[in-house]
Amino acid sequence: MTEWSSSRIRREYVEFFKARGHEHRPSSSLIPADPTLLLTNAGMVQFKPYFLGQETAPWPRAVTVQKCVRTIDIDIIGTTARHLSFFEMLGNFSFGDYFKEQAIPWAHEFVTEVLGLDPERLWFTVYETDDEAERIWIDQVGVPPERVQRGGKDNFWQMGVPGPCGPCSEIFWDRGPEYGEEGGPIGGDDERYVEIWNLVFMQNIQDEPIHSTGQRPPKNSTPARV
């Protein structure tokens, strides 16, 4: 397998989405212009006014490399190979432009054709009621049905504060049997199946952490984070 530096991954990701009509936006400050957040913890934070309909995005698509701090992960840093305090989150965003039918194939194309990851070691999850995402993975992308699993709350993305939320579809890398039991990301070992991409479909708005208040307009924002 080819070794990739973080700078090369960052560069290739940005160029991939710029070639697909995305405006490259700089990382926003770690101190967000949002009273509900202590620190910027996701790439979508700087775009939250667009997702809420408070402002109109000046571009239909954007790509970012966002500096993030995850305070909620502090207690488990060092106990796994997956949790960090500070990291850079790669993200591609659609503001009422494209949705699942383009976002999902692009994610698969990037990890298999650009990064060169072996498709035989990839697994995929969708939200338990998201028939559309499952259909796209299987019928459009060509993923074997047994590699697509349905999840519950882990496949419904929310910020933990009032704001956008919605189902998500994740891509996982199988590190191999030496890292744990087989069974896929849902049912298998957490150390074996590592999430490498999360496609978030912000179809809903919530007024409190676990209460979805309604449906957003169709074809709305599709952020993805890596």
Tens digits of per-residue pLDDT, 104-138? 999 999 999 999 999 999 999 999 999 999 999 99
Residue 131 domain-assigned (yes or no): yes
Answer yes or no: is pLDDT of 167 > 80: yes
Residue 1 domain-assigned (yes or no): no
Looking up residue 13, the CATH number of its domain turns out to be: 3.30.930.10
Q: Which of 37-41, 68-72, 128-132, 154-158 has the lowest mean pLDDT?
A: 68-72
Residue 150 domain-assigned (yes or no): yes
Residue 145 domain-assigned (yes or no): yes
CA distance 140 to 144: 11
Q: What domain count does the chain have?
A: 1
Domain that holds residue 160: 6-225
pLDDT band at 153 (very low <50, low <70, confident <90, very high): very high
pTM: 0.88
Q: Which of 92-96, 156-160, 218-222 has the lowest mean pLDDT?
A: 218-222
Give the 3-state secondary structure of residue 177. helix
Residue 61 domain-assigned (yes or no): yes
Name the more confident of 76 and 155. Answer: 155
Residue 94 domain-assigned (yes or no): yes
Answer yes or no: is pLDDT of 220 > 70: no
Give the 3-state secondary structure of residue 76. helix
Burial class (CB in 10 A: 0-12, 13-18, 19+), 14: middle
